[in-house]
Amino acid sequence: MIGQLLAVLDRDTVRGYRAQIRRSVAYAVLEGLAVGLTLPTLAAIIGGDSEASTRWLILLALATALALAAHAWTVQKGTRATFDAMAAVQVLEIEHLRTLPLDWFTPSRNAEVLTLLWPGAISTTRNILLNLAALARGIVTPVIVVVFAALVSPTAAVVMGMSIPLLYLVHRVTTRHLEAAEHVDHAANTEATARIIEYAESQTTLRSADRNNLGMALLTSALDDLDKTARRGVRSEIAARTGFGTAVNIAVAAIVLVVGIRLLDNPTDIATLIALSTLALRFAEPVMTVAAVARMLRTSSATVTRTVDFLTTPSLSEPVEPQTLPEGEALSIQIDDVDVRYDSISEPALSAVNFDVPLGSTVAIVGASGAGKSTLLRLIPRFADPTTGAVRIGGVDVRDISSADLHTRIGVIMPEVVLLDRTIRDNVTANRPDANQDELDRVATLSGLDEVIARIPGGWNAQVGPRGTNLSGGERQRVQIARVALQNPSIVILDEATAALDPLSERIVQKWVSNLHGRCTVVIVAHRLHTIATADYVVVLEGGEVIESGTPADLAEAGGQFHRMINTRTDTSQWRSTTQVRLPHKGGVR
């Protein structure tokens, strides 16, 4: 378990774990010596040998003092190592999270990550580091005790020695199902967490659709499962503890029995026999302690497996030798024979998609729900990679561009704006913390945020609340536009689900987009006729394939799908005509 974990942790944290293992073993050896030395000491005292008693007592006192000091040192250093390791594990997890493709994030995985960060991080750090001493003591001390016992009674030593693997076996059997129970318990826990989040977040839907009972039923069923697995878990643990405790008691009884039989054979050696019996009892104590920490270590082992699985989930790879993008404002985009397949659906979400977007132009992606628009949009800022094919910007494959460079050059506007729970200023300057007030004022005017700042208490320093919920949808959208405008990207990706916006915010988005024309290459998932009409090109997706592409005016005349989509709308006066730059297209695009 520990080896598995150390393989994915950073060097400093690994060093912390290794040092704690060494400290724990050193403590266990000293503790073993202190226990073992009780045998000759007791034998000397009971036997009335005062000179030997003094000698053994001094040694025993020394070993006991050293063992106590080592214990204090191990706990103190272990506690510090725990806090360092916990922070390091959480940072590793958060950093890994940033590198995962967006498709990885599902409600149950989000809940899983939540439990890995907390309380999972405790399980992989504190529960291991602070129990290592008890574990080492439970293994090393009995072995040392057996060595001491062998010096006075080989028979008793053999019984003790044999009981160690036997007890280990009993321990394995009695705790075998604990790990499986822990997996079931964890799955139920994750499911319940996901359901609670879902229930809280979907209140509007549940209430407006009068389906509160459905949401409640899903939640209570998850909580029922959690309750059942928790009960099973407690039963398993009690059975494991009782089983192991009984086995240890049987082992101690066997040792005392052997000692007793020896007493019958040689009644004069009473001192050694009393000392051996005492040792047998002390031999059992560290073994029992291991059983007590076993449950915690089993839980840790299951959490370590999940943590390692998470940390080894393939990231979107960073290029070994990143290529630099051409300087200049706009960048062209090439979608080159792209296929995207999701594991959960048999049909490809995108199939042989080909088109080029010349620099400075605006392309509207249109199509029915499920046509593949969002999937296509996600490929450009490399939130996910295509299954086959390539996406190039400025002629460079996005997989060959460092993520920092890519995210600086591409601005992304999504319909669901989630802001950081900081001030408006912090959110606008998220990508440009060095921006001065003049720049902020300029983007505030451009995005319509100036009106919001003038109106709300605190202005630029107003707190937006968790996920930005102190602001309306339109206000959050303006913050997002101001942030992207300040970023001054070469490409803007925009999912125009403007239905959530008030008419003023919608006009602001449209004005901002039309002002980008020529300076920035824009790709819009378009739902509004106005946006479609003013785009340079339109790409029509259906079932993951490009079925039409060209200028809006051309497509409107072509009599195809696009024509049918818009034929109820008559105002085509603003549409860009065929005299403008054509959409260069490749195979598969009609």
**3-class secondary structure, 314:** coil
Nearer to ligand ADP, 2 or 539 (CB): 539
Closest separation in Å from C-beta 104 to ligand ADP: 9
Residue 137: CB minimum distance to ligand ADP, A: 49
CA distance 337 to 530: 29
**Which of 233, 367, 468, 552 forms a contact with ligand ADP (CB under 6 A)?**
367
545: three-class secondary structure by DSSP: strand
HSE-CB for 370 with a 13 A CA cutoff: 3
Min. distance of Cβ 508 from ligand ADP in angstroms? 24
Residue entry with tokens 């008693």: 53
DSSP 457-473: TTGGG-B--GGGTTS-H
Stretch that binds ligand ADP, among 136-144, 254-262, 369-377, 499-507 (CB under 6 A): 369-377
Burial of 274-312, coded b for 16+ CB within 10 Å and e otherwise, reads: bbbbbbbebbbebbbbbbebbbbbbbbbbbbebbbebbe
Q: Which residue has the tokens 């002629």?
A: 395
Q: Which residues, other chains included, contact 81 with Cβ-Cβ below 8 Å and sequence gap of 6+?
A: 16, 17, 19, 20, 129
Please report how close the Cβ of residue 541 comes to ligand ADP at its closest, in angstroms.
7
Residue from 101, 370, 473, 584 in contact with ligand ADP (CB under 6 A): 370
Shorter beta-carbon distance to ligand ADP: residue 346 or 579: 346
Q: Shortest Cβ distance from residue 398 to ligand ADP (Å)?
A: 18
Considering Cα of 172, then 174, then 180, then 183, what sign does the dihedral take?
negative
Region binding ligand ADP by CB under 6 A among candidate stretches 48-56, 207-215, 264-272, 339-347: 339-347
**CB distance 534 to 554 below 8 Å:** no
What residues between 345 and 364 interact with ligand ADP by CB under 6 A?
A: 345, 349
CB of 184 to ligand ADP, least distance (A): 26
> Residues 355, 583: contact at Cβ < 8 Å?
yes
From 322-330, 366-374, 412-420, 473-481, give the range in contact with ligand ADP by CB under 6 A. 366-374
**Residues in Cβ contact with 192 at an 8 Å cutoff, skipping those fewer than 6 apart:** 219, 222, 223, 225, 226
Instruction: Give φ, ψ of 493 to 5 degrees.
Output: -110, 130
Q: Which of residues 86-145 bind ligand ADP (CB under 6 A)?
A: 103
Least distance CB 313 / ligand ADP (angstroms):
15
Give the nearer residue to ligand ADP in terms of CB position, either 28 or 349: 349
How far apart, in whole angstroms, are the C-alpha atoms of residue 46 and residue 269? 10
Question: Smallest gap, in angstroms, from Cβ of residue 525 to ligand ADP?
Answer: 7
| 570 near ligand ADP, rule: CB under 6 A | no
Minimal CA–CA distance to 386: which of 540, 394, 377, 395? 377
Pick from 376, 385, 430, 389: nearest CA to 403: 385
**Shortest distance, position 552 Cβ to ligand ADP, whole Å:** 19
Nearest distance from C-beta of residue 527 to ligand ADP, angstroms: 11
Distance CA 378, CA 414 (A): 10
Would you say 252 or 371 has its CB closer to ligand ADP?
Answer: 371
Residue 250 vs 384, nearer CB to ligand ADP: 384
Q: For ligand ADP, give the closer residue by CB, 103 or 237.
A: 103
Would you say 111 or 157 has its CB closer to ligand ADP? 111
Bond prior to 119 in cis (omega within 30° of 0): yes
CA distance linking residue 583 with residue 356, whole number of Å: 7
From the CB of 5, what's the least distance to ligand ADP, in Å?
Answer: 30
User: What SS3 string covers 332-395?
Assistant: CEEEEEEEECCCCCCCCCEEEEEEEECCCCEEEEEECCCCCHHHHHHHCCCCCCCCEEEEEECC
CB of 460 to ligand ADP, least distance (A): 35
Query: From residue 450, how far is each of 333, 471, 480 by CA, in Å?
Result: 33, 14, 13
Nearer to ligand ADP, 349 or 479 (CB): 349
**R_g of the chain computed on alpha carbons:** 35
Give yes or no for residue 344 binding ligand ADP (CB under 6 A): yes
Query: CA separation (Å) from 110 to 167, 227, 315, 381?
Result: 41, 22, 16, 22
DSSP character for 547?
A: E
Kindly tell me which of 370 and 584 has the beta carbon lying closer to ligand ADP. 370
Number of residues that bind ligand ADP (CB under 6 A): 13
Interface pattern 268-287 for ligand ADP (x via CB under 6 A): --------------------
Find the shortest distance in angstroms from Cβ 374 to ligand ADP.
3
Shortest separation between residue 545's beta carbon and ligand ADP, angstroms: 11
For ligand ADP, the closer of residues 449 and 494 by Cβ is 494
Greatest CA separation found in the chain?
118
371-400: which residues touch ligand ADP (CB under 6 A)?
371-375
The smaller minimum CB distance to ligand ADP, of residues 238 and 345, is found at 345
CB nearer ligand ADP, residue 82 or residue 549: 549
Site string for ligand ADP, 230-269 (x = CB under 6 A): ----------------------------------------
Candidate segments 290-298, 367-375, 497-505, 548-556, binder of ligand ADP by CB under 6 A: 367-375
- Interstrand relation of 521-525 and 362-367 (parallel, antiparallel or unpaired): parallel
* Residue 373: CB minimum distance to ligand ADP, A: 4
Q: Which is nearer to ligand ADP, 268 or 344 (CB)?
A: 344
- Sequence length of the chain is 590
Q: Which is nearer to ligand ADP, 375 or 447 (CB)?
A: 375
User: Is residue 336 within 8 Å of residue 360, measured between CB atoms?
Assistant: no
Subset of residues 403 to 422 that bind ligand ADP, contact rule: CB under 6 A: none
Does 342 participate in binding ligand ADP (rule CB under 6 A)? yes
Q: Which residues bind ligand ADP (CB under 6 A)?
A: 103, 342, 344-345, 349, 367, 369-375
